[in-house]
């Protein structure tokens, strides 16, 4: 979730709590090589569909955290990370990303 | 039963038209569509319109246009211009009522739906639908940001449209074994079709091999899997008037409009676009025909996987076989059905607000060339990653009164 102003940041922070720390499995993953200006510092980054273990196995989408290469079937945990570049006097734009906790295990 | 006829249509050149403004594209499409109805008053007479477009004077009395439906996604972001209804209305001498319709890349299809509902309700008898987008005055990264507004901005933050369609492509590949080469064949075929279309942005053949080696955008989607950023406009004049000189004009036999969740993560399936299936079923039922009756179709190939999904979801091929059909040449001349004879979004271009209108204008112009038998064509316009879908079925005017 992007936070372009303090009020939006406040509203979105309530949403983070629903998934923060949750674990899940990657359903689909793609590596983005071209993105919008605010996301250029992260390129290339992964974008994922994730099925959470809890919350009735709700499916969410999120960016993958830096330093990981994601594949279908990987186990992940939702963490709070910087999700966009910003000017030095802006709010630091934090949001949910996925961190890999284990590789896909084929049966 | 009231029939909606396409009595006039026009498509401007699509492409990177650096010397053309949004206003002049609207103006050109409007006046050329009006001239297409009955031709010009004098072949040589030239009239300069407000935004610099030179036209002939239409023989058609433009005051018969009772309302205008304007399709556009993001003129405010691309050019700074909003209030498009008023902008377009003033291009006609009698300032007809005008409404802007926005549904991302399906803006054109939705404007057509709104126009037909107004016609079929009896409110109006003749209306103009015009769509335009001026996209090339901003950088590619700005364009990516503007277009990402067609996804669910908060829940899908970080995504791009190529990324969302890449997730669909990977799901299709996993489920049905769709291959990289099959995606490439869609692009190669549409580029070959566009060679014959003088309005197309890219009139150049490219091989499947070149598509497969182009720059990676979001794995597995590559640059030449993607429709381009384009400027352009298109217009159609629709009428329910049953008068002699409109006999033989193409008729909208049926249309359907359906929605799915905006957020890809909330979809029931990633291997089909439910809104396309529903809109197609509604349109087929209204027209009283089956998918096998469609001779050619303009479908929403914003990415190559989108054409494969559409060819299955619209019933032309069974689920999972769309990639194979493209690879075997079943979607071009000599195959089962000709898909995207204009070159589609991929090669003709994709000025977002214009696309849905252009699809209808293109099939209408092609159907007018068929005089000896009844022929059905289909158009399919999608918004976002499949959240909005509009399908039109059009038949030529033979045997029509």
Which two three-digit tokens encode residue B180? 């990289």
Secondary structure (3-state) at B343: coil
Chain B residue with CA closest to A34: the answer is: B217
Task: State the Cα torsion A15-A18-A21-A25 to the nearest 10°.
Answer: -110
Any idea what DSSP says for residue B103?
B
Nearest CA to CA, how far is A12 from chain B (Å)?
A: 9
Helix B140-148 with B161-176: angle, nearest 10 deg: 70
User: Residue A106: its pLDDT value, please?
Assistant: 59
User: Residue A5: its pLDDT value, please?
Assistant: 76
* Residue A22 pLDDT > 60: yes
Secondary structure (3-state) at A20: coil
* Residue A34 pLDDT > 50: yes
Give dist(CA B316, CA B312) in Å, integer. Answer: 6
Of chain A, the percentage scoring pLDDT greater than 90 comes to 54
DSSP string for residues in B3-29 = -EEEEEEEEPPPB--TT--HHHHHHHH
- Strands B388-397 and B376-383 turn out to be antiparallel
- Strands A59-64 and A94-102 turn out to be parallel
Secondary structure (3-state) at B362: helix
Q: Do A33 and B154 touch (CB under 8 A)?
A: no
Q: Are B283 and B113 in contact (CB under 8 A)?
A: no
Q: Is B174 exposed, middle or buried (0-12, 13-18, 19+ CB in 10 A)?
A: middle
- Please give chain B's pLDDT, 401 residues, in tens: 789 999 999 999 999 999 999 999 999 999 999 999 999 998 877 888 888 898 899 999 999 999 999 999 999 999 999 999 999 999 999 999 999 999 999 999 999 999 999 999 999 999 999 999 999 999 988 898 899 888 887 778 889 999 999 999 999 999 999 999 999 999 999 999 999 999 999 999 999 999 999 999 999 999 999 999 999 999 999 999 999 989 889 999 999 999 999 999 999 999 999 999 999 999 999 999 999 999 999 999 999 999 999 999 999 999 999 999 999 999 999 999 999 999 999 999 999 999 999 999 999 999 999 878 999 999 999 999 999 999 999 999 876 65
Q: Do A61 and B217 touch (CB under 8 A)?
A: no
Q: Do B218 and A30 touch (CB under 8 A)?
A: yes
Nearest CA to CA, how far is A103 from chain B (Å)?
A: 18
Is B350 a known active-site residue? yes
Task: State the Cα torsion B283-B287-B288-B291 to the nearest 10°.
Answer: -60
Q: Are A50 and A61 in contact (CB under 8 A)?
A: yes
Residue whose entry in the numeric block shows the structure tokens 């998918």 = B291
Query: What distance lies between CA B299 and its chain's CA centroid?
Result: 8
Given B105, B226, B302, B348, the catalytic residue: B105
Which two three-digit tokens encode residue B394? 């059009």
Chain B residue with CA closest to A11: the answer is: B154
Q: Do A28 and B266 touch (CB under 8 A)?
A: no
Regarding predicted confidence, which is higher, A2 or B363?
B363
Q: Does B141 touch chain A (CB under 8 A)?
A: yes
Chain B environment of A31 (Cβ under 8 Å)? 216, 218-219
User: Residue A107: its pLDDT value, please?
Assistant: 39
Q: Are B392 and B283 in contact (CB under 8 A)?
A: yes
Residue of B77, B140, B143, B163 for testing the chain A interface, max A β-carbons within 10 Å: B163
Q: Do B158 and A33 touch (CB under 8 A)?
A: no
pTM, rounded to two decimals: 0.96
| For range A9-33, the mean pLDDT | 89
Q: Do B219 and A37 touch (CB under 8 A)?
A: no
User: Residue A2: its pLDDT value, please?
Assistant: 55
* Residue A48 pLDDT > 80: yes
Give dist(CA B89, CA B85) in Å, integer. Answer: 6
Give dist(CA B31, CA B75) in Å, integer. Answer: 21
Q: Do B154 and A39 touch (CB under 8 A)?
A: no
Chain B environment of A45 (Cβ under 8 Å)? 158
Write the residue in B144, B155, B170 that is nearest to A35 by C-beta: B144
Q: Predicted confidence band at A12 (pLDDT cuts at 50, 70, 90)?
A: confident
Secondary structure (3-state) at A107: coil
Neighbours of B364 (CB within 10 A): 27
Give dist(CA B65, CA B279) in Å, integer. Answer: 28
Shortest CA distance to B314 belongs to which of B350, B289, B342? B289
Query: pLDDT averaged over chain A?
Result: 87
Q: What residues pair up with B226 in beta bridges, in sequence order?
A: B303
User: Residue B204: its pLDDT value, please?
Assistant: 96
Q: Are B337 and B296 in contact (CB under 8 A)?
A: yes
Any idea what DSSP says for residue B174?
H
Write the residue in A29, A40, A60 that is nearest to B265 by C-beta: A60
User: Residue A3: its pLDDT value, please?
Assistant: 55
Q: Does B121 touch chain A (CB under 8 A)?
A: no
The sign of the torsion formed by the CA atoms of B96, B133, B380, B337 equals positive
Give dist(CA B397, CA B96) in Å, integer. Answer: 28
Given B191, B257, B350, B380, the catalytic residue: B350
- Strands B67-71 and B98-101 turn out to be parallel
Q: Do B158 and A59 touch (CB under 8 A)?
A: no
Q: Are B106 and B279 in contact (CB under 8 A)?
A: no
Chain B environment of A83 (Cβ under 8 Å)? 157-158
Q: Is B203 exposed, middle or buried (0-12, 13-18, 19+ CB in 10 A)?
A: middle
Q: What's the ipTM?
A: 0.91
Residue whose entry in the numeric block shows the structure tokens 């999700």 = A83
């Amino acid at each position: 979730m992007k936070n372009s102003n303090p009020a939006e940041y406040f509203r979105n922070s309530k949403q983070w709590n629903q998934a923060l720390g949750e674990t899940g499995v990657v359903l689909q993953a793609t590596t983005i090589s071209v993105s919008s200006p605010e996301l250029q510092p992260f390129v290339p980054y992964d974008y994922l569909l994730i099925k959470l273990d809890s919350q009735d196995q709700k499916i969410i989408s999120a960016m993958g955290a830096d330093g990981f290469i994601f594949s279908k079937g990987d186990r992940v945990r939702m963490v709070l990370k910087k999700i966009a570049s910003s000017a030095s006097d802006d709010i630091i734009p934090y949001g949910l990303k996925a961190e890999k906790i284990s590789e896909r295990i084929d049966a | 039963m009231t029939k909606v006829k396409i009595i006039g249509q026009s498509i401007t050149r699509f492409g990177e038209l650096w010397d053309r403004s949004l206003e002049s594209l609207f103006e050109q499409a409007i006046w050329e569509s009006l001239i297409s109805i009955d031709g010009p008053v004098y072949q040589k007479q030239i009239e300069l319109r407000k935004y610099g477009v030179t036209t002939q004077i239409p023989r058609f009395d433009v005051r018969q246009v009772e309302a205008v439906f304007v399709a556009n996604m993001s003129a405010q972001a691309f050019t700074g211009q909003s209030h498009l209804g008023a902008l377009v209305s003033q291009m006609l001498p009698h300032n007809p009522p005008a409404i802007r319709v926005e549904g991302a890349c399906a803006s054109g299809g939705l404007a057509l739906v709104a126009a037909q509902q107004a016609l079929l309700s009896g409110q109006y008898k003749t209306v103009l639908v015009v769509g335009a987008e001026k996209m090339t005055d901003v950088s590619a990264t700005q364009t990516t940001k503007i277009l990402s507004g067609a996804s669910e901005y908060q829940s899908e933050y970080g995504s791009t449209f190529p990324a969302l369609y890449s997730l669909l492509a990977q799901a299709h590949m996993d489920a049905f074994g769709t291959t990289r080469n099959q995606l490439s064949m869609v692009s190669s075929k549409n580029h070959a079709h566009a060679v014959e279309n003088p309005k197309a942005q890219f009139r150049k053949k490219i091989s499947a091999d070149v598509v497969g080696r182009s720059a990676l955008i979001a794995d597995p989607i590559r640059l030449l899997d993607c429709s381009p950023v384009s400027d352009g406009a298109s217009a159609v004049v629709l009428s329910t008037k049953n008068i002699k000189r409109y006999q033989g004009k193409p008729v909208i036999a049926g249309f359907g409009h359906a929605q799915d969740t905006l957020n890809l993560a909330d979809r029931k399936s990633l291997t089909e676009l439910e809104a396309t299936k529903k809109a197609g079923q509604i349109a087929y039922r209204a027209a009283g025909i089956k998918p096998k009756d469609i001779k050619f179709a303009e479908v929403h190939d914003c990415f190559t996987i989108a054409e494969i999904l559409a060819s299955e979801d619209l019933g032309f091929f069974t689920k999972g076989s769309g990639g194979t059909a493209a690879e075997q040449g079943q979607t071009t001349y000599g195959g089962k059905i000709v898909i995207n004879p204009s070159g589609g979004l991929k090669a003709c271009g994709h000025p977002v607000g214009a696309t849905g209108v252009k699809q209808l204008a293109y099939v209408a112009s092609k159907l007018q060339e068929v005089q000896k038998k009844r022929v059905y064509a289909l158009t399919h316009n999608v918004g976002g990653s499949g959240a909005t879908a509009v399908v039109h079925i059009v038949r030529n005017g033979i045997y029509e009164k």
